[in-house]
Every structure is written in structure tokens, then in C-alpha cells.
């Protein structure tokens, strides 16, 4: 058998509101790590967990302390910390990080009830995704890397309409009402977590079409914190410079409204950051190689790996724009971080046993 050392598991936090692309991001991430993650075999069919060879993704909704009825009775939303058990979340993430399996509860999204727990073994990479991965300071301190998906209200609205109206038969008014009802708690408990994120993917309406309100063409920013150990931000052309780039022309086919990249240093909350921005969308995904070849520090293992990943998952939402591109890049950066941490442990075995 394999002897596990304490602290083998690296922990990644992914925060976002529900319906904001977390599952899509997870599929891109686990694909970069080399294998699709699937629900645990033979367990509760309503489990929210995904497992691959390297990675286990747990959904933080499983730490709801109040079920759907409980929330109704108490008059709190799922976003409210009072509906969530942060003590248990901390204990279990800590145990997994230290190499110990846990019996994690399951929040059943179909019934709205808490189901009997499932056994989670410590993986190489543990991803905790949901509404509050960076809310509790103790849990936050366990994260080796954190990401926040920041979807602007206009875009969130467009995505919700697409899904809830088309697929679930909700009315425009009821979608508006449900977003409005969540907003105060979202602003109080979810949104502030972005200040702690090592990387933020911000999704905004395009600036290429005047007064656009369709939400189809997107302007996406990848905000990367400076000075994070094992994470060196991606850059365009010249690290630290401020760049604006319209790649359309001889090498890249662009139809209206075109594509525009921007790159440069900035500050975000109290942190120094590098920001890479893409507005617009690709007409031909294979031509992404032209853009990829102009980016540096992308942590690919071979020329064209980003383009290959994007082509492989061309059917995922956001594959023709900055959301898919930046999710893929963050996946590569996390793989790199994992490999660096693993290598540093292998070269310092004495300290690992002392700890
Ligand atoms: P979550 O796991 O956070 O609930 P999903 O990844 O399941 O979110 O995405 C929810 C819905 O939002 C998708 O079905 C799709 O309609 C829309 N969506 C997500 N990401 C994108 C994207 N990058 N571009 C366009 N639509 C998206
Ligand atoms: C959020 C949470 C879910 C919850 C949903 C609806 O999206 O992530 O866990 O089920 O809100 O909450 P409700 O109280 O209406 O069941």
C-alpha cells in the first residue's frame, strides 16, 4: 500500500453564486489534470461529489446546517452563514488535507434534505466549490489557491434566462424576482470573498457593441494576484507593461464586433494584480493558437495545449470567448502549482516528517 504523508493533499477553493459556471469550470479543470471527474460509484445517486484519479470536487452545499424546510422556517437563504456549518466544513477540509478520510454529509438538491453521509478519502487535489469557500477564516487558511467567478448582474441575468426560461419553464418576472431576493445576502456574504481570491474571473457585458444588452458577447477579465507562492501571472507580450491588442487581421478571422485584448498591472482591493482581458469572441477556435502563442507564463506542457483543451471541449458554454479561455488558463496554473508544491515536498522530506 501507499504510505501517505500528512499534508499531501492540496486544497483549491472555487467560489461563485449558483448558476455561474462552476460545474463548467470544474469540467475544464479536471480535464487539464488528465481525466474527467465522475460521481462516486455505487453511492447516493444524488451525491454532489465528483471524483477522478487525481481530484475530488466537493460541493459546499453539503455543509448546509439547515435543510430547505429549516431555511424556510428560520427565514434564511442558503447564502446566509447561519444556514451553513462552518465548524464541520473546517474540521473535514483540515482532516482531508492532513490525509484522513471523512464522512461528509450530503445535501440532496432534489429533496432539499440532508442525506446520510458519504466517505471521502484524501485525494491529491481537493477542490471545494460553492458559495462560501473563503468565508470562514479557518477554512480560507487551508486553501493553497482560491478562485472567484465574478459574474456581473447583467450577464447573470442573461444566463439565468437562458437556463431557467428555456429549460425549466420559469417566467421572466420570476427569474428577476429570484435574483433580486438573493441580492442582499449575495452582497453581504458571497461577493466580499473575492478580495481573498488569488485569481478572479470577472465576466462583464461587451464594450465592443454600444449599449449591448443581449449578454451574448462578453468582456472577461482574469485578475491575478501578485506575490502568490507557486503562482506567476500570465502576461501578454511584455510583463508589467500596459498593452492593448486587436489580433484581428491576417492571422485571425474576426467578424463583428471583433476581438480586443488588454493586459497590465492594476490594484484590486488592497492587492497588486495583473489583469488580462478579452472582449469579443472567436469565430474559429483553431485560430486561438495565434493568441496562445503570444501569451507567456501559461504553464502549458507543449505548444498549443490551451488551444487543444478548448477544441476538446468546444461544446462547453463559453468556449468561444474569454470565460473558456481563462478557465482553461487557470486550470493550467493550478496544475503547475500542484506540481511545484509536490516537487518542493519531495526535495524536503525531512521537514515533511517533522511537521
Ligand atoms: P453552476 O455549476 O455554477 O450552477 P453551470 O456551469 O452549471 O453553473 O452553468 C449554469 C448555466 O450557466 C449553463 O447551463 C449555461 O447556460 C450558463 N453558463 C455557464 N457558463 C457560461 C459561459 N461561460 N457562457 C455562457 N453561458 C454560461
Ligand atoms: C442556492 C444553494 C442551494 C439551494 C438554493 C435554493 O443556490 O446553493 O443549496 O438549494 O440556493 O435554496 P432554497 O432555500 O430555495 O432551497
Residue 200's DSSP bridge partners are: 148, 223
Q: Which three cell numbers stand for residue 201?
A: 474571473
CATH class of 1-147: alpha beta
Q: What's the pLDDT at 250?
A: 77
Q: Can you give the pLDDT at residue 118?
A: 97
The response to whether residue 218 sits with its C-beta less than 6 Å from ligand 1 reads no
18 lines ligand 1 (CB under 6 A): yes
Which ligand approaches the C-alpha of residue 217 most closely? 1
Q: Whose CA is nearest to atom 4 of ligand 1?
A: 19
Say how far apart CA 165 and CA 168 lie, in whole Å. 6
Q: How far apart are CA 14 and CA 190, in angstroms?
A: 12
Question: What pLDDT shows up at residue 355?
Answer: 47
* Per-residue pLDDT at 7: 63
Ligand 1 neighbour 163 (Cβ under 6 A): yes
**DSSP secondary structure of 227-280:** T-TT----EESSTTS-EEE---SSSS---TT-EEEEEEEEEETTEEEEEEEEEE
* Residues 220 and 187: beta-carbon distance below 8 Å: no
Dihedral of alpha carbons 59, 63, 69, 75, sign: negative
Ligand nearest to the CA of 109: 2
Report yes or no: 4 and 124 within 8 Å, Cβ to Cβ: no
Query: Are the CB atoms for 95 and 104 separated by under 8 Å?
Result: no
Identify which of 57, 41, 61 has the alpha carbon closest to the alpha carbon of residue 107.
61
Å from CA of 76 to ligand 2 middle: 10
Q: How many angstroms does the Cα of residue 173 sit away from the middle of ligand 2?
A: 19
For the chain, which ranges sit under pLDDT 50? 1-3, 354-355
C-alpha of residue 343 to centroid of ligand 2, in Å: 40
Q: How far is the CA of 335 from the centre of ligand 2 (A)?
A: 31
The Cα–Cα gap between 266 and 275 comes to 7
- Comparing CA positions, the residue from 136, 140, 170, 133 lying closest to residue 26 is 133
> Which residues, in sequence order, are CB contacts of 34 under 8 Å at separation 6+?
52, 53, 54
- Position 5 scores a pLDDT of 53
Whole-number Å distance between alpha carbons of 96 and 10: 9
Q: Do 233 and 268 meet the contact criterion of CB atoms below 8 Å apart? A: no
**Sign of CA pseudo-dihedral 77, 80, 86, 92:** positive
Is the Cβ–Cβ distance between 115 and 44 less than 8 Å?
Answer: yes
Specify the 3-state DSSP secondary structure of 100.
coil
Q: How far apart are CA 85 and CA 65, in angstroms?
A: 5
Q: What angle do CA 302, 303, 304 make, to 5 degrees?
A: 110
Q: How far is the CA of 192 from the centre of ligand 2 (A)?
A: 19
190 phi and psi, to 5 degrees? -100, -60
* Nearest-5° Cα angle at 201, 139 to 46: 55
ipTM of the complex model: 0.91
Following CA atoms 127, 199, 294, 314 in sequence, which dihedral angle do they give, to the nearest 10 degrees?
50
Domain boundaries for CATH 3.40.50.300 within the chain: 1-147
Q: What angle do CA 230, 232, 235 make, to 5 degrees?
A: 165
Amino acid at each position: 500500500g501507499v504510505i501517505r504523508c500528512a499534508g499531501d493533499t492540496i486544497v483549491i477553493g472555487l467560489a461563485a453564486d449558483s448558476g455561474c459556471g462552476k460545474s463548467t469550470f470544474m469540467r475544464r479543470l479536471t480535464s487539464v489534470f488528465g481525466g474527467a471527474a465522475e460521481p462516486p460509484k455505487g453511492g447516493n445517486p444524488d451525491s454532489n461529489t465528483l471524483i477522478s484519479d487525481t481530484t475530488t470536487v466537493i460541493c459546499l452545499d453539503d455543509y448546509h446546517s439547515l435543510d430547505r424546510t429549516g431555511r424556510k422556517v428560520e427565514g434564511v437563504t442558503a447564502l446566509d452563514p447561519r444556514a451553513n456549518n462552518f465548524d464541520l466544513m473546517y474540521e473535514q477540509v483540515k482532516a482531508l488535507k492532513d490525509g484522513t478520510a471523512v464522512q461528509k454529509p450530503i445535501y440532496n438538491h432534489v429533496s432539499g434534505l440532508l442525506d446520510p453521509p458519504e466517505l471521502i478519502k484524501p485525494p491529491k487535489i481537493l477542490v471545494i466549490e460553492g458559495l462560501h469557500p473563503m468565508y470562514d477564516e479557518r477554512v480560507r487558511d487551508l486553501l493553497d489557491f482560491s478562485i472567484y467567478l465574478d459574474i456581473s448582474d447583467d450577464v447573470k441575468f442573461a444566463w439565468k434566462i437562458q437556463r431557467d426560461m428555456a429549460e425549466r419553464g420559469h417566467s421572466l418576472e420570476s427569474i428577476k424576482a429570484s435574483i433580486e431576493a438573493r441580492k442582499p445576502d449575495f452582497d453581504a456574504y458571497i461577493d466580499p470573498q473575492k478580495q481573498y481570491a488569488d485569481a478572479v474571473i470577472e465576466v462583464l457585458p461587451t464594450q465592443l457593441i454600444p449599449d449591448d444588452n443581449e449578454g451574448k458577447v462578453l468582456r472577461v477579465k482574469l485578475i491575478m494576484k501578485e506575490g502568490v507562492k507557486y503562482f506567476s501571472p500570465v502576461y501578454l507580450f511584455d510583463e508589467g507593461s500596459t498593452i492593448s491588442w486587436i489580433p484581428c487581421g491576417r492571422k485571425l478571422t474576426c467578424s463583428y464586433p471583433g476581438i480586443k485584448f488588454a493586459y497590465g498591472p492594476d490594484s484590486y482591493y488592497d492587492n497588486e494584480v495583473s489583469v488580462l482581458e478579452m472582449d469579443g469572441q472567436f469565430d474559429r477556435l483553431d485560430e486561438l493558437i495565434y493568441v496562445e502563442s503570444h501569451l507567456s507564463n501559461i504553464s502549458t506542457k507543449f505548444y498549443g495545449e490551451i488551444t487543444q483543451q478548448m477544441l476538446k471541449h468546444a461544446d462547453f458554454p463559453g468556449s468561444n470567448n474569454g470565460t473558456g479561455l481563462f478557465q482553461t488558463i487557470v486550470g493550467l496554473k493550478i496544475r503547475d502549482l500542484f506540481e511545484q508544491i509536490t516537487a518542493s515536498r519531495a526535495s524536503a522530506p525531512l521537514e515533511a516528517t517533522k511537521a
